[in-house]
Structure 1
Amino acid sequence: MIKRCPQHGFFRGELCQCGSAGQLVLDETKTEQLGRLVAGGLRHFPADLGLEMDCHGWVDLAKLGEVVLSRHRWASLDLVVAMIQSDSKQRYEIRGDRVRARYGHSVDVDLDHPENRRPLLYYGASEEEADRILEIGIKPASQRYVHLSGTAEKAWHVATFRTGNPKVIQVDAAAAQKAGVKMMTVNDDIVISETIPYIYLSLLATRDMAWREKA
């Protein structure tokens, strides 16, 4: 659900960071419906919704508002803004009169986020995936870019949603970028990348993942 705090604006969940219960803006069901529609328009099928997307993934914000209203009578541009501003995962960004998804695209876009500065990055995978990745590298599957984590722990937790025995691949990002692999920082947790050759990858040893015992 989305609520509004008089002091801190829109937030998700029961309480704002300040402890305020806030005022309900959108219930859980409608938040999910709006989220799926916006994700479709900004990540997967903009043309099907009548949205014109430029090469960097931007679409007209007002037009997106018209689209959501045409699909849901209760929806509005203000609710789209509320959804974006309350999203702790920072999936989307608004710049002036434009909006875009920051990551997760299946459509062909050329994102222009800042260059990654972390020397090491991490990718969570199943045991079978890890074996294959160490042989052929990490390639985008259903998405335009490979999504990497800034910490091994985060990569491991992401992989737990797909497998009961997660493995963590360590990426020598500094060497890969020096060789010409494009990597961009999306937010504090996510870096996106083009295909990463296997020579920059190694399997993180179990002894280096002590935090997983606390999960």
Structure 2
Amino acid sequence: MINEKENKRISKFLSLVLRHKPETVHIELDGNGWTDVDVLIERMREHQFNISREILAHVVSTNDKSRFAFSDDLTRIRASQGHSVDIDLGYEAQQPPPVLYHGTTENALASILKTGLEKRDRHHVHLSTEIKTATAVGQRYGKPTILQVAAGEMFQDGYRFYRTDNNVWLTDHVPVKYFTVIE
């Protein structure tokens, strides 16, 4: 269908427009982050991305982190998490596993040890159930550092957690007392 390089190029552009800057292609996201598939395809074509519904479906289905989702009727699409634009993904709070992991870089660790894990310009702090996933996230920007988060204890202390459709756990903040550096 398309080669891996083109798949990655389209995926990165989708992340930009569905998570951060929908205005790049003149689309609008509704209150839950959804946009019309046909409009998205049309607007992407205007920006040198000659894609079809089949190509879009391929990019969504082969994304290693399941970053995107179609509505049940396949007429709308959205990013699963990681937005910097104001939307409500509609996830319901739920009890997390006892331990979750966060991947970051060695360079960011000093700041994190002072303030905890903060969402900053995102909607939530992202956590994973596997060290492998956290390591992959941390490697994106340098030497990875893995934090083990006492999510069960946080939950017992009143912190809220949400699980996305692609099994990423979200919370607003992880204070320093709830994590340890493991790698």
Which bracket does the TM-score occupy, shorter chain normalised?
0.7 to 0.9
The 1:116–1:64 alpha-carbon spacing in structure 2 relative to 1, beyond 3 Å, is farther
- The TM-score with structure 2 as length reference comes to 0.82
Aligned partner of residue 51 in structure 1, secondary structure: coil
What is the distance in 1 between the residues matched to 2:47 and 2:111?
Answer: 42
Stretches of structure 1 that go unaligned for 5 or more consecutive residues are: 1-24, 207-215
Q: What secondary structure, in the 3-state scheme, does the structure 2 residue paired with 1:125 have?
A: strand
Instruction: Show the counterpart of 2:65.
Output: 89
* Segment of structure 1 superposing worse, 98-107 or 166-175: 166-175
CA deviation after TM superposition for structure 1 residue 146, in Å: 1.4
| Structure 1 residue 101 corresponds to structure 2 residue 47 | no
Residue 34 of structure 2, aligned match among 58, 68, 82: 58
- Conserved? CA contact 2:101–2:134, under 8 Å: yes
The structure-2 alpha-carbon separation of the partners of 1:39 and 1:132, relative to structure 1 and needing over 3 Å to count, comes to: closer
Which structure is richer in relative contact order (CA contacts within 8 A, separation 6 or more)?
A: 2
Q: Which residue of 1 is the match for residue 120 of structure 2?
A: 141
RMSD: 2.5
* Cα shift readout 1:43-83 (whole Å, capped 9, x = no counterpart): 11113322121222111122112212222373223321221
- 1-structure distance, mates of 2:141, 2:95: 26
Choose which of 49, 53, 56 in structure 2 pairs with 1:80: 56
Q: Is the 8 A contact 2:91 2:163 kept in 1?
A: yes
| Structure 2, unaligned runs of 5 or more | none
Give the 3-state SS of the residue equivalent to 1:100 in structure 2: strand
8 Å CA contact 1:138, 1:195 repeated in 2: yes
Q: CA deviation at 1:139?
A: 0.6
Separation in structure 1 between the aligned mates of residue 26 and residue 125 of structure 2, nearest angstrom: 27
Aligned residue among 115, 126, 136 for 2:105? 126
Alpha-carbon distance between aligned partners in 1 of 2:5 and 2:106, rounded to the nearest angstrom: 35
Shift of 1:133: 1.8
Secondary structure, counterpart of 1:168 in structure 2: strand
The structure with the largest alpha-carbon Rg is 1
**Rounded Cα–Cα distance in structure 1 between residues aligned with 2:132 and 2:165:** 16
AA aligned to 2:142 is T
Number of aligned residues: 180
8 Å contact from structure 1 (residues 92, 99) kept in 2: yes
Whether the aligned pair in 2 keeps the contact of 1:64 and 1:77 (CA below 8 Å) is no
Worse-matched range after superposition: 25-34 or 51-60:
25-34
Contact 2:25 2:44 in 1 (8 A): no
Secondary structure at the residue paired with 2:174? coil
Equivalent residues of 1:52, 1:59 under 8 A apart: yes
Structure 1 runs of 4+ aligned residues shifted over 6 Å read none
